[in-house]
Structure 1
Amino acid sequence: MAWLATFCLLGLPAGFLLLWHIPSCRSKICSGHEAISLIIPARNEEGNLPGLLGSIRESAAQPAEIIVVDDASTDATASVAEAHGAVVLRSHPLPAGWTGKNWACFQGAQQASADVLLFLDADAWFSHQGFEHIANAYCIGGDGGVAMSVLPYHVVKKPYEELSLFFNLLMAMGAGGFGWLGGPRLFGQSLIVSRDLYNAGGGHESVSKNILENLALSSHFERAGGRCICYGGRGVLNVRMFPNGFAQLCEGWTKAFADGAAASGAAILCLSIFWLTAMCTCFLAIWLAHGHWRITFGLIYILFALQLLYFARQIGNFSAVVCLFYPLPLFFYFGLFARSLYRKLFHRSVNWRGRTL
C-alpha cells in the first residue's frame, strides 16, 4: 500500500503544476485605450443577449460599436439585439467547410470599423465595469501584437451545473498557461485582438472548419509574430454555459472535448491524466485499504478535495460540497469524455443549436 499512497500523493503537486494561479485583469489600469468593436455571434440567443448587452450599457467605458451577427436564428435574437442598441448583421447562408460561429465572427470582423476587435459569446456578461477592465488589460498588454483572452467566471445556479467542474478545470489547465507547464493559448468565449494581427493570422477564415477555433487561432497568431495572454474572469466576465438542462450540458461538453484534450500538448495531457488517475485511485483505495492505510488514504482524499476547492473558486462559484464529493463529477467527466472520444473516433455527429457538427 505504501507505493499506492505515494502515487496518490504525487498527484497533488501534479495538480499545482497544471494550475497554480489564475491572474485577473480586474486591477489593471490604463490611461486610455483604443476604440473597440464588440462582435457577438448569436444563434437563437434571445434569452442571453439582454444580460450581455445590459451589462455593457452599465459600463462607464463603451465599445465603439456593438455588432450582433444573427446566425440564422429562429427566435427573436435580431429584434432583442436591436432593442438594446446593437447593430444587427444578418448572416449570409453558411458556406461549406465553415462552422456557424466562425462564419458569423468572420462576417462581423468584415463589418467592424475599429482597429481592435473583441469577439464575445452571447451567453457571457460583464461584471461591474468589466468591459473597462478588459479594455485596460489589453491596452497594457502590448502594442497590437497581443491576442488576449479572458476565461469567464462560471456561474452555477442549479445542481446539475456542478458537473461541469472538471471540464472547466481541464479547459483552464490546457489553454490558460496558468500553471508551470505550457504557454497561454486562447479561450473560445472571448478574444480581443488588433485587426492587424487578426488579418496577419488569417482570422476566422483560417480556422473555418475548426470547432475549437480558439486553439487553432492561437497557433496562427503566434506564427504571425503575435503572442497570447490569458486572464481569469472573476469580477470581470461571467458565463452560465448550460442553463437549459442536463441534456444541453452533456451535448455541449461532448461536441469537442476530446479534440481539446488532444490539442493541449503532450506534457499537459499526460500530467492531467496522472492527476485525474491519482484522485480516482485515492477514492477507490479508501474502500480497499484497511486499518491505518484507510486513514492515510482518507487524509490524502481530503487534501485533494481542498486542492479542488482552491482551483474551483478561481474559475466559478462551484460549491465546497461538490469538491468534497469530487468522485461524482470526476466519474461523470470520465463518462462524457469517453463519449466524446467515441464520437470522434467513429465520426459520429453531435447536434448543437440545430446544426450537425
Structure 2
Amino acid sequence: MTYTVEELVIDDSFIAFCTRNNPHDIARWDDYLLKHPEALITIEESRRLVLGLKYMLQKKQNELSATDDSPEHALYIASGKTLRSINEHPWPIKWKRWTAVAACFLLLVTAGIYLLNQPRKAAGPLSAAIKPNTGSGQTTQSRPGEHKTIFLPDSTKVVLNAGSRLLVSPGFGKQDRNVSLTGEALFDVAHNKALPFIVHVAQYKIRAVGTRFNVKAYTNDRYSETSLLEGKIQILLPRGDNDIVYKTLQVNQKFVMPLRDSLTREAATKPEVVALTYHDAGQNIETAWVKDLLIFENQPLDEIKNILERRYNVAITIANDEVAHYRYTATFQQENIDEVLKALQLSYSFSYKRTVNQITIYK
C-alpha cells in the first residue's frame, strides 16, 4: 500500500516520524521507504508540509503564551502549568485540528510555500566532513552547506553532498546491502559478489558488487543521475512486482532519469545513457562537488539555483521567467554566494536582493 500526501500529513505515525519523536514510528517509515523507494518524492513533500505546519503552530502558541490577557494563557497560568507544559499537552489536540484543515489542497500548497521561504539556520563549514560508522537500520543526513563522510558495516565509503539523506536497511551486511538515498552521494562500494549493493532512489535502483559511482537524486531537481567512475553497475527499473535490468553502465557513462512532474506525475522525456562531462583532463563535472568545486556547463539559472541553495544554505527565488532560463558556463571554488552571483551577472545581467538567507533574483 502507498500513501498520498493528504493521507500522510494527518497520519499520527507519520507525524511522529517527521518530528523524530518515536523510534517505533521512525523504524516503521524507514522500512516503508525501503519497500517503496518510488514513494521518496511523496514522503519528502509530506515531511516538509508536516514540519511547516508544526512551525506555524508552535509560532502561534508562542504568540498566545506571550499575550497575558489571552483566556487560554490565563487558564494555563491559573493551573500552574509552565510554558513547557503548554507545548507538551495541547499539541495533539491542536495538531489534529490543524491537520484536518491541512487535508485541503489549498492549505497544503500554502504551507509548503511558507516553509520553503523561511530563512534557514546557518550550517557548519562547507567542507566539515565527519566520519562516523553507520550501522544497519540507521539514517544519516547532511545539512545544507555540509559534506559528510560515512563508512558502512561492510567498509563501503559514502560521501554525502549537502542536504542529503541515506537510509541503511536493518539487514545490511547480513540479509542484503540495501540503502535508500535522497540527495547526492559518492559511493566507493566494498566488493561482495554474493551480496550485491543496491541503492534505491525515486523511480529506479542501482546494483553493484564492488565499484565507484556517484548518484544525484534530489527531489527538487529535474533529473536524477548515476555516474560510473570505476567497474560496472546495473540500472534496474520497476516492472510490475519485479525489477528489470534497463542498462549496464560502463566506466565514464552516466544514466539520466527525468523526474516526474509534481503535477502530472509524468516524465517529459525518456531516460538515457550519456558520456560523463569533463571540465579538464582530470576532473569530471559530475563529482566536482567532492572537491568543493562548482562547475556549470551551459546550465540554466533555475537549475543553478538549486545547487547554490544547497551549497550556501540560502533560499533563492527567481522572480522572472526569462532570467530563470539564462544559461551559464562558469567554475567556482572558494567564492561566497555574493561573489558567485556577481560573477554570473557579468555574462547575462540580472539584479538581486538579499535579506540574510533569502535571495530574490529579478531582471
Question: With structure 2 as the length reference, what TM-score do the two structures score?
Answer: 0.23
Question: With structure 1 as the length reference, what TM-score do the two structures score?
Answer: 0.23
Which structure has the highest strand share of the two?
Answer: 2
- Which structure has the higher relative contact order (CA within 8 Å, separation 6+)? 1
Which structure has the highest helix share of the two?
Answer: 1
